[in-house]
Amino acid sequence: MHPTPELQTERLVLRRWRPDDRPPFARLNADPRVVEFLPAPLSRSESDALADRIEAHFERHGFGLWAVEVPGVTPFAGFVGLAVPRIEAHFTPCVEIGWRLDAEHWNRGYATEAARAALAFGFETLQLAEIVSFTVEGNLRSRRVMEKIGMTRSPSDDFDHPVLPEGHTLRRHVLYRSARPGISCEDVPVAE
Ligand SMILES: CC(C)(COP(=O)(O)OP(=O)(O)OC[C@H]1O[C@@H](n2cnc3c(N)ncnc32)[C@H](O)[C@@H]1OP(=O)(O)O)[C@@H](O)C(=O)NCCC(=O)NCCS
């Protein structure tokens, strides 16, 4: 597997994870603001297990959910990146773009700036034909980021998250798609 490159933007560095990212990652995973649209806050060991899975994903696929550093502001603000979701749904297999940032650093455009770089990496370096993103219907912040990076939603793609039981308030999800420039969103193949 080729080494994952670091991505640099005007204000951010998207890099592989370091051991000292784990305490701040656990803090943000325990913050009710951050986990509002996740089933539950994570304990320290659950947060570390997630960091382990993120690392394993980089090793397996050569890309993943990068740690986001804001030089001069914070060494670790959260993650933004690309991942192969483990769920089965009408749009899988696929590559998704996702994000989770410390609430102390929200609304400064960091997620959007990092996501644009991750999207460009997916299309230009990985040569993906399509990248998707999904979230709980009511997660307007996340949906706003999807819209700002040019992704589009078709209501016919809405779906019930397969790991959440019927009646769960977070079950209904919206799906956004983005196709590589020059490629139509219809019937694009996804390479794993
Ligand atoms: C989603 C998230 C990564 C966004 O990070 P961010 O760095 O604040 O994002 P940006 O600053 O690039 O953009 C946020 C946009 O949401 C808008 N926004 C903020 N709060 C909002 C709200 N309550 N309703 C609607 N829009 C809202 C902001 O105004 C901004 O849009 P604008 O530039 O048009 O003004 C961050 O909120 C987060 O980590 N949330 C918790 C984890 C999560 O939900 N992840 C996604 C799960 S799929």
pLDDT (tens digit, 9 = 90+) per residue, 140-180?
A: 999 999 999 999 999 999 999 999 999 999 999 999 999 99
Q: What is the mean pLDDT of residues 16-42?
A: 97
Say if ligand 1 is within 6 A of residue 135 CB. yes
7-179 folds as Aminopeptidase (3.40.630)
| Element spanning 173, H or E | strand 172-179
Read off the tokens for 152. 């589009």
> Rounded to an integer, what distance in angstroms lies between the CA atom of residue 164 and that of residue 185?
28
Reported as type and span, the H/E element at residue 44 is helix 44-61
| Residues paired with 188 in a beta bridge | none
**Domain limits, the chain:** 7-179
* Residue 158 burial (CB count, 10 A): 13
47 lines ligand 1 (CB under 6 A): no
- What is the 129 CA–ligand 1 centroid distance (Å)? 26
Q: Is 112 in the pocket of ligand 1 (CB under 6 A)?
A: yes
State pLDDT tens for residues 71-103. 999 999 999 999 999 999 999 999 999 999 999
For residue 95, how many other CB atoms are within 10 A of its CB? 22
Q: Quote the CA–CA distance of 35 and 58 in Å, as a whole number.
A: 24
Residue 184 confidence class, pLDDT cut points 50, 70, 90? low
Q: Is the pLDDT of residue 186 over 50?
A: yes
Q: Across the chain, which distance is largest between two alpha carbons, in Å? A: 45
> How confident is residue 181, by pLDDT bands cut at 50, 70 and 90?
confident
Ligand 1 mean position to 166 CA, how many Å? 27
DSSP tally for the chain: helices H, then strands E: 4, 9
Question: Which residue is associated with the tokens 């997660």?
Answer: 139
Provide the residue type at 38 as one letter. Answer: L
**pLDDT score for 179:** 96
Residue 142 CB contacts under 8 Å (≥ 6 apart), including other chains: 37, 99, 133, 135
In 3D space, the residue among 46, 60, 64, 78 whose CA is nearest the CA of residue 145 turns out to be 78
Read off the pTM: 0.95
Degrees (nearest 5) of the Cα angle 68, 146, 58? 40
Distance (Å, whole) CA 92 – CA 151? 17
Residue 27 has pLDDT above 80, yes or no: yes
Backbone angles phi, psi at 10, to 5 degrees: -55, -45
Show the tokens assigned to 186.
């219809």
Q: For atom 34 of ligand 1, which residue has the closest CA?
A: 144
Write the pLDDT tens digit of every residue in 40-80: 999 999 999 999 999 999 999 999 999 999 999 999 999 99
The residue to mutate among 14, 76, 87, 106, having the most atoms of ligand 1 within 8 angstroms of its beta carbon, is 106
Probe residue for ligand 1, chosen from 80, 107, 137, 148 as the CB with the greatest number of ligand atoms within 8 Å: 107
pLDDT at residue 192 in the model: 47
